[in-house]
Amino acid sequence: KNGLMIIGVNQGDGHIIIKQLFNCSQGCSSCNSAYECTQCLDNYYLEGKKCVTSCKKGTVGISKKCQQCKSPCSECQETTTKCTSCIDGYYLSSDMMCIPICPDSFTNIKGECKPCKRPCKQCADSDENCLTCIDGYYLSNNKCVPSCPKGTAKSGGACADCGDGHFRADGL
C-alpha cells in the first residue's frame, strides 16, 4: 500500500483529529508531496523523486535507490562496479570489470575480452585468429598446427615458406 501523509491536531481535550493531507505516489512509502517521494516500498527504487520497479540503463538498484554505475562501466548489476558493458575504449573482462586492454591469451570480441582457443597463445579479432602458439605448435596462416605443412619449414614458432625449388631437409 502506498504511504499516506497525515497531520494530527491536538484538541486539548485528549482527542486528536487526524486529517489526510495527500497520498504518496505509486510505490512510495514516504513523501514530501504527492509527487515527491523520499522513500520507496519493497521492490521499488528511488529514482530522482519517484519510485520505479527497475532502474534506467546505466544505473543499478541498491538499498531501494537507483545508483549510477561507476565509470568505466556503462551498465552494471548488483553493485556500481560489477559491469555488464563498458564505455568506449574499455573491454569487459571475464570477472565483470572494464579494462583498457585485454590480457595476454585474450582478444576483444564485440567489446568483451574472450580467451583465445587452444592451441593459440595470443590471438586477435577472433578467438581462432592466432598470432602466436603454445609450445609444440607452429603458426601457419594464423592457425596453430602441430607440424608445418608441405613446402614450409619451422622458423622460430612459425612455419615459413621454403621458396621456389627448395624443399625441407625431410623431403617435404
CA distance 42 to 89: 37
The DSSP line for 82-141 is: SEEEE-TT-EE-TTS-EESSPPTTEEEETTEEEEPPTTEEEESSSTT-EEEE-TT-EEET
DSSP character at residue 146 = S
Whole-number pLDDT of residue 106: 94
Residues facing residue 111 across a β-bridge: none
Question: How far is it, in rounded angstroms, from Cα 42 to Cα 33?
Answer: 20
The whole-number pLDDT of residue 32 equals 87
What one-character DSSP code corresponds to residue 34?
A: T
pLDDT of residue 168: 45
pLDDT in tens, 71-83: 999 999 999 999 9
For residue 172, what pLDDT is reported?
46
Closest CA to 69 of 85, 47, 45, 50: 85
C-alpha cell recorded at residue 109: 570480441
Give every residue of the chain whose pLDDT is below 50, as ranges. 166, 168, 171-172
Q: What does the pLDDT look like over 45-69, one tens digit per residue?
A: 999 999 999 999 999 999 999 999 9
**In b/e form, how buried is each residue of 60-82, taking b as 16+ CB within 10 angstroms?**
bbeebebbebeebbbebeeebee
pLDDT of residue 84: 96
The whole-number pLDDT of residue 34 equals 83
Q: 0.85 cut: is pTM over it?
A: no
Separation of alpha carbons 70 and 30, rounded Å: 28
